[in-house]
Amino acid sequence: MDVTASPLSPRRATRQIHVGPVAVGGDAPISVQSMTTTKTADVEGTLGQIYALAAAGADIVRCTCNERAAAEGLAQIVPRSPVPIVADIHFHVEMALAALEAGVQGLRLNPGNLRKPEEIKLVASEAKDRGVPIRIGVNAGSLHPEIYERFGGATPEALVESARLELAYFDEVDFHDVKISVKASSVATMIAAYRLASETFDHPLHLGVTEAGPLPGGLIKGTAGIATLLAEGIGDTLRYSLTADPVEEARAGRQLLEALGLRERRGLDLIACPSCGRAEVDVIGVATAAQEALAGLGLPIQVAVMGCVVNGPGEARHADLGIAAGKKRGHLFIRGQIVRVVPEDEMVAALVEEATRIAEEGVEARLAARDVSAESAAAADRAALLEDRGLDANHVTEKVNEIRRRTRE
């Protein structure tokens, strides 16, 4: 027997959609998702969690959009998030429209509680116009009552029927950018539902055991359901639903995919901000140069490349090391604390040098060796940048005004 051959069934063919820059379905790598637990209106807290999730392995992050303040928060979060943001919508069609206005890269609709066909079609039309995909997120615990009645409970067939009905509404408005989930807290129900969904639809499937609970039981239930399906070639993206710090969800998803040989193991973990109206440097160029310079060194650390010193060190405060740009200078930070300021054209070299020293000496020793004047230099650059570009470099006010106009509150 060839023990190096993959024991997994070939992946089932699905169509491909894009959540922002992340491809889902087809031959795209299976992606990891998680969901923030902060109030979405708490922009800095939510962004901090999103960065932590991205560093732990999340490719896509979902945030609740349950009230106008959350939609307004999303307008600020989306341009600064390192990964695409999906808005989670329950009950309120106007929150779906507001989230689209805020610029989210995906929506999740629950067909169990957003039931009016005209409203569903309105959201699908608006999502289509903006090129934003929607997940039909069926959940056994909140199944449409009529379907529950008809099938005598939240059976696998009932879950798939709920998704099929929603898809029919989307078809009416010629919207096809869809992925589907049919989650249940029962592992057996969930496995049967996804097998049936895989036979019924060619849309990408988002796997998950819902309300799996705290560690370690939640991890075991999630793995039992998700890994079984992945081994059968079913699933294009996944989320562990744990009653725990969501970082555990992202980590578990990533580790499961690595264990199954479905994603490559990570040594160096380089994350970069998406760049936004505040960027002071070509983030893509610096990140690419840093990736090339650091990749061969095999350092097991997280490194962040951030476009501005106004928000960068705070957003990426969990990273071992990072660099943020400002006023033609690079601000080197370790775990969010500025340790050194270097000329802009020395950013990558400084990053490589510091990464090597952290790997040799450790984070604490490098923090102790910091240049004590660096923090005040960074504070001066931050103040100057705020003065130059104002508080609203991402034109959030415009989006918020539109969200207010379109929502009833």
Q: How far is the CB of 279 from ligand SF4 (least distance, A)?
A: 4
Q: How far is the CB of 321 from ligand SF4 (least distance, A)?
A: 15
Q: Please select the residue that binds ligand SF4; options are 147, 273, 299, 301, rule is CB under 6 A.
A: 273
Q: What long-range pairs does 325-333 form, CB within 8 A, spacing at least 24?
A: 325/279, 325/280, 325/281, 325/283, 325/286, 326/280, 326/378, 326/381, 326/382, 326/384, 326/385, 327/280, 327/381, 327/384, 327/385, 329/377, 329/381, 331/374, 331/377, 331/378, 331/381, 332/374
Cα distance between the two ends of the chain: 65
Number of residues located near ligand SF4, criterion CB under 6 A: 14
Which residue has its beta carbon closest to ligand SF4? 307
Q: What is the DSSP string of 298-354?
A: T---EEEEES-TTTHHHHTTTSSEEEEEETTEEEEEETTEEEEEEEGGGHHHHHHHH
Range in contact with ligand SF4 (rule: CB under 6 A) among 90-98, 104-112, 252-260, 269-277: 269-277
Q: How far is the CB of 185 from ligand SF4 (least distance, A)?
A: 36
Given the DSSP bridges, would you call strands 17-19 and 22-24 parallel, antiparallel or unpaired? antiparallel
Among 318, 178, 312, CA closest to 246: 318
Under the binding rule (CB under 6 A), the answer on residue 314 touching ligand SF4 is: no
Q: How far is the CB of 292 from ligand SF4 (least distance, A)?
A: 20
Q: Please select the residue that binds ligand SF4; options are 28, 279, 293, 367, rule is CB under 6 A.
A: 279
Under the binding rule (CB under 6 A), the answer on residue 80 touching ligand SF4 is: yes
Alpha helices in 181-340 (DSSP H): 187-200, 217-231, 246-259, 283-295, 312-315
Tally of CB atoms within 10 A around 116: 10
Q: Please select the residue that binds ligand SF4; options are 94, 315, 320, 354, rule is CB under 6 A.
A: 315
Q: Please select the residue that binds ligand SF4; options are 8, 276, 352, 367, rule is CB under 6 A.
A: 276
Cα(317)–Cα(50) distance, rounded to whole angstroms?
A: 12
Under the binding rule (CB under 6 A), the answer on residue 380 touching ligand SF4 is: no
Under the binding rule (CB under 6 A), the answer on residue 311 touching ligand SF4 is: yes
Q: Is the Cβ of residue 106 or residue 307 nearer to ligand SF4 in the bound state?
A: 307
Under the binding rule (CB under 6 A), the answer on residue 278 touching ligand SF4 is: yes
Q: Is the Cβ of residue 80 or residue 251 nearer to ligand SF4 in the bound state?
A: 80
Q: If residue 166 lies in a helix (H) or strand (E), which one and from where to where? A: helix 156-172
DSSP strands (E only) in 78-167: 85-89, 106-109, 134-139
Q: Is the Cβ of residue 93 or residue 276 nearer to ligand SF4 in the bound state?
A: 276
Q: Please select the residue that binds ligand SF4; options are 106, 235, 312, 322, rule is CB under 6 A.
A: 312
Q: Please select the residue that binds ligand SF4; options are 132, 147, 287, 306, rule is CB under 6 A.
A: 306
Interface positions, 15-54, toward ligand SF4 (CB under 6 A) = none
Range in contact with ligand SF4 (rule: CB under 6 A) among 67-75, 128-136, 188-196, 268-276: 268-276
Contacts with ligand SF4 by CB under 6 A lie at: 80, 273-276, 278-279, 306-308, 310-312, 315
